[in-house]
Amino acid sequence: MSDTAVVTEEVQEVKAEMVPVYIMGKRYDVPNSLTIMKAMEYAGYQYIRGAGCRGGVCGACATVYRLPGDYHIRVGLACQTVVEPNMYLTQIPFFPANRAVYDWENIKGEAEEVFQAYPELFRCLACNACTKVCPMDVPVMDYVAAIKRGDLEKAAELSFDCIQCGLCATRCMAEMAQYHIAQMVRRINGKFIAPHSEHCHKQVEAIKSGYYTDKIKEVMELGTVDPFDDSTKTDKIDKLIELYKARETEPHTAVEDWKPESDFALLK
Amino acid sequence: MKIGYYPGCTLKTKAKNLEDAAIKSMAALGYEMVELDRWNCCGAVYSLADDDLVHFLAPVRDLIRAHDQGFDKVVTLCSMCYNTLARANLLMRDDEVKRDALNDFMEEENDYKGEVEVVHLLNFIRDEIGWDKLRDAVKVPLEGLNFAPYYGCTLTRPEEVGIDSPKDPVVFQAFIEAIGGNIVDFPASQTCCGSYQIISNPEAAKATTLEILTSASDAKADALVLSCPLCEYNIGRRQDEIIKGNDKLENLPTFYFTQLLAIALGLPIEDLKLELNTNSTKAFLEQKGLPALA
């Protein structure tokens, strides 16, 4: 096409700077702006496991690395961490970690139940290796300490940012799988300790009572549309699009006590 | 006045009665016990192995937290926590090589060299408030009641961290005297309750607990006074089982010293968290019409 930019010598010279990284001990030169995950793909690795959301929240791509001249173990999520020159890295996509089986329907929400499910809690010596290796900066040692003294609410709060990558478990000298314990604690917190959101219960009741059934039917009868096939676009679909555009959503800048105007949410 | 306070895990659950009564009593005496913002289990046992530094990480971290929070003293209630923290503190003061190794390992923490003083509440009351002032603050003197002060092992031993002389301690007696009770001297006042042997060798623990109960009963004690949740577990909670079939022994009530303090200061009964005490302890109070001002 005629409007393509003219390729000058100047443009040709703009190149990514390449840096050496060592993936499982083997050197690859990769563009310095890549994340570890992109760098591995650049180097020819294909992800089958060890990649998930690529957005820093799923915990699938936990990576450990070291830099020359520094004894510290460094960690990062491969999808979020930009490569550094001469880093030695490997991903740890999976680490065996036992999850206790408990009968959730009969859990009473007591600390004793967590102790029974995970007695290895009491092997913690407060070495803090877990906290140091957490890519989300969760104070793992502190939440373990809180669980040990039965403060499940505090533990739930401290462990809130956990993405269950499992790196804490790889480093634990007490051989715990801390993140599974914290998950049980957060579940207990949600059911027994944290305030319940009443409007959510009301909403569920409204759904169960059939309040929305007709409205949903109405919307569903408007049909479906294939965005690549104009022949599927009907008047009804225009109505659907209209409804979609008119729907009420919480604005990004909503104040804390924002409430929807429509009775769809039954919040009034 | 605010005082730095390290509770210890058990005081947050099974021994909440030891903690609550202390916090409320100290508030009544004009002291706010400020729980450390961050703390972990102290380990509950001081490791005696010479090269076993890893077991010092937990107590030393707690001392670092107290120091970071600006406290020059940290008060404890539980005998085990007191002993573990106080000994770890001495190690950080006196053993340069181990101190450096521990500080080096905990490089994410500020360096620590024993700046904080670990104080048991009994000594805090003795040294900062004084028995005379405590006596003046008492609203319900526990007159006519015979209390046997049970030190157990870790309050007084080893000598370098003992809250009083291990041979002839008097601080517990002075406390009982100040709140108006009669002191019962009994030979087993410093006999070990069996401690963690209750798990690995329960028969041995049972034997030593029986000795303590017999000794206190023979000395005509109305109740034992304790400062340790593990002692309470062995002597209190397991008491029915221990005296079962023994027609010479009757149930002996067991109190934490902080609960007696709360009663003497006229605090309401809910501050005692009596639901965590043994039935005979509750019955004893009811019979004596205590707490009087509740």
pLDDT in tens, B106-130: 999 999 999 999 999 999 999 999 9
Whole-number pLDDT of residue A10:
65
Residues A131 and A186 in one domain: yes
**What CATH number did the domain enclosing A26 receive?**
3.10.20.30
Q: Are A157 and A209 part of one and the same domain?
A: no
What distance in Å separates residue B228's CA from the closest CA in chain A?
A: 16
Strand partners, B119: B75
| Boundary residue ending a domain (A150, A165, A193) | A193
Q: Cβ contact (<8 Å) for B61 and A128?
A: yes
- Give the per-residue pLDDT at A12: 64
Measured between beta carbons, the chain A residues lying within 8 angstroms of B54 are: 125, 127, 173
Residue at which a domain ends, from A129, A164, A193: A193
Q: How far is B292 from chain A (nearest CA, A)?
A: 33
B283 touches chain A (CB under 8 A): no
**CB-based contact, A126 to chain B, within 8 Å:** yes
For residue B294, what pLDDT is reported? 45
Same domain, A225 and A171: no
Q: Could you say which of A124, A144, A145 has the minimum Cβ distance to residue B39?
A: A145
Q: How far is CA B253 from CA A193, A249, B42, B241, in A?
A: 34, 63, 29, 14
- Residues β-bridged to residue A62: A77
For every one of its 268 residues, what pLDDT tens digit does chain A have, with 9 covering 90 and above? 556 767 766 666 677 899 999 999 999 999 999 999 999 999 999 999 999 999 999 999 999 999 999 999 999 999 999 999 999 999 999 999 999 999 999 999 999 999 999 999 999 999 999 999 999 999 999 999 999 999 999 999 999 999 999 999 999 999 999 999 999 999 999 999 999 988 888 888 988 998 889 888 988 888 877 778 888 777 778 888 888 888 888 888 889 888 877 765 554 3
Question: d(Cα B40, Cα B88) in Å, to the nearest integer?
Answer: 14
Residue ranges of the domains in chain B? Answer: 2-121, 136-288
Whether B174 has its CB under 8 Å from any CB of chain A: the answer is no
The answer, yes or no, to whether residue B293 has pLDDT greater than 70, is no
Residues of B in contact with A148 (CB under 8 A): 9, 40-41
Q: What confidence score (pLDDT) does residue B106 get?
A: 98
CATH code of domain B136-288? 3.40.50.11810
pLDDT of amino acid B73 = 98
Tell me how close the Cα of B289 comes to any Cα of chain A, in angstroms.
34
Q: Name the residue with tokens 């096409």.
A: A1
Residue B282 contacts A where some CB pair is shorter than 8 Å: no
Q: Which 3 state secondary structure label does DSSP give A37?
A: helix
Whether B45 and chain A come into contact, CB under 8 Å, resolves to no
- Note whether A233 contacts B: Cβ–Cβ < 8 A: no
Q: Distance between CA atoms of A130 and B212, rounded to whole angstroms?
A: 43
Cβ of residue A145 closer than 8 Å to a chain B Cβ: yes
The nearest alpha carbon in chain A to B10 belongs to A149
Q: Are A94 and A172 in contact (CB under 8 A)?
A: no
- Do A149 and B58 lie within an 8 Å CB cutoff? no
The predicted pLDDT at position A2 comes to 58
Tell me the C-alpha distance between B173 and B122, whole Å.
Answer: 10
- Tell me what pLDDT residue A92 has: 96
For residue A260, the model assigns a pLDDT of 77
Calculate the alpha carbon distances from A33 to A15, A67, B38 in Å.
11, 17, 39
pLDDT of amino acid A263: 63
pLDDT in tens, B223-250: 999 999 999 999 999 999 999 999 999 9
User: Where in the sequence is the domain holding A187, given as residue range(s)?
Assistant: 104-193
The more confidently predicted of residues A15 and B164 is: B164
Per residue in B249-292, pLDDT (tens digit) is: 999 999 999 999 999 999 999 999 999 999 999 999 999 998 87
Q: Which of residues 87-126 of B touch A (CB under 8 A)?
A: 106, 108
How many domains, in total, are found in chain A?
A: 3
B210: phi then psi, degrees, rounded to nearest 5: -60, -40
Q: What does the alpha-carbon distance between residue A98 and residue A202 come to, in Å, rounded to a whole number? A: 37
Residues β-bridged to residue B223? B147
Establish if A98 belongs to a structural domain.
no
With beta carbons under 8 A apart, name residues in chain A contacting B52: none
* Interface A:B, Cβ pairs < 8 A: 43
Residues A178 and A241 reside in one and the same domain: no
Give me the CATH number covering residue A134.
1.10.1060.10
- Mean pLDDT, rounded, of chain B: 96
pLDDT at res. A268: 38
Residue/partner pairs of A114-118 with CB below 8 Å, 24 or more apart: A114/A147, A114/A152, A114/A181, A114/A184, A114/A185, A114/A188, A117/A181, A117/A184, A118/A176, A118/A180, A118/A181, A118/A184
The per-residue pLDDT for B22 is 98
Contacts of A126 in chain B (CB under 8 A): 40-41, 43, 57-58, 61
3-state secondary structure of A91: strand
Number of H helices and number of E strands within chain A?
Answer: 11, 5
- State the alpha helices, DSSP H only, in A20-139: 36-42, 111-117, 129-132
State the average pLDDT over residues B135-151.
Answer: 97
Surface of A (62-91) touching B: CB under 8 A:
none
pLDDT for B19-69, tens place per residue? 999 999 999 999 999 999 999 999 999 999 988 999 999 999 999 999 999
Find the length of chain B. Answer: 294
A157 in reach of chain B (CB within 8 A):
no
Interchain proximity B58–A141, CB inside 8 Å: no
Beta bridge partners of B132: none
- Check: CATH 1.20.1050.140 for B2-121? yes
Question: What gap in Å lies between CA B113 and CA B98, rounded to an integer?
Answer: 11
For residue A39, tell me if it sits in a domain: yes
